[in-house]
Amino acid sequence: MIQHLISSRVSLAPMAGITDYVLRSLVRENSQSALLTTEMISSEFLTQCKGGDIIERAENHSPISYQLSGHKPRMIADCAKYLEQYADMIDINMGCPVNKVVKGTDGCALMRNPDLAQDIVRTVKANISIPLSVKFRLGYTFDELNFVEFGQKMQEAGADFITIHGRTRSQMYGGKADWKMISKLKHNVDIPVFANGDVVSIETAVECLEQSEADGVAVGRGALGDITLIGRIEKYLNQGVYLPPPTLDEKIITLKEHLKREVELRGEKVGVKFCRKFYPYYLNGFQGASRLRGEIVLIDNLSDVLAKIDGILVK
């Protein structure tokens, strides 16, 4: 069953507050088989509020994995069971480096408590009938590079699939992802491994696969501003066909669509505000880009934002 879900060698990595319904839909329109992953869903939140935009999905989002965070095995298992009606796979977040997450002993903090991490995986696995994956990092710090042993423990506990980010928690998102290091994990587990970190183009995807020897790559920030990237990587890996990155005009057209869909989902004020985080990814690489972003980030009216963006297309 897991092989069907990862028939593509590319997946959309989970990003909190980023990989929402709209972004997943845009990626899916450019890739029919990549595994999509939701943004991180707190098991504490889901226990209190079952429902909402964060768990919505479209029929064509399959294959899709729902990512849960937390440190209470029974609670996470109950949430996983609830999400089974939506998900093709459940993913447990054991790699988030953000302070407020690790201070709550969630995310990458679990790499310092492998016994609890195993208990979480065992408990969830016993309560669901769909595949289970775990996402983690190389370690908490460079002095705690326990990713090989940690991955083995996750496999022993019942994990069917691993995604590993090639940085430590202490690096956050700085420095470079160590793809070569990931190969050590790949050689010491029997379940599929996807490599994550710094995959921002077809070229870096190929290099990551070569160095990590992983079964596939998980694309995170590289897909921001370029929702075609995952599909283009697939096309190259499967058919040897190289499709170029989107032009500025194409990126602007996608941004406009992204804005419209977020407004439809969230309402005008919230939708426009939500999209501000994406402006630096869509609007870059041309003269006056910084000035333009500074102007539209202050606008909360959709028609005015679209008019401002259209001004680039007619120049």
DSSP state of 62: -
**8, 5, 137, 146: which is closest to 64 by C-alpha?**
5
Residues 61 and 131 sit within 8 Å (Cβ to Cβ):
no
The CA distance from 231 to 303, in Å, is 30
Smallest CA-to-CA distance from 145 within 115, 117, 170, 173 is with: 170
Provide the β-strand partners of residue 135.
93, 163
Q: What Rg value do the Cα atoms of the chain yield, rounded?
A: 19
Report strand pairing: 36-37 vs 64-69: parallel
182/195 Cα distance (integer angstroms): 7
Alpha-carbon dihedral of residues 67, 71, 72, 76, nearest 10 degrees?
0
Q: Which of 79, 96, 108, 208 is catalytic?
A: 96
Our answer to whether residue 96 is catalytic in this structure is yes
Report the C-alpha gap between 164 and 150 in whole angstroms.
11
In terms of Cα–Cα distance, which of 270, 245, 243, 247 is closest to 259?
270
- Are the CB atoms for 63 and 36 separated by under 8 Å? yes
Instruction: Point out the residues that are catalytic.
Output: 96
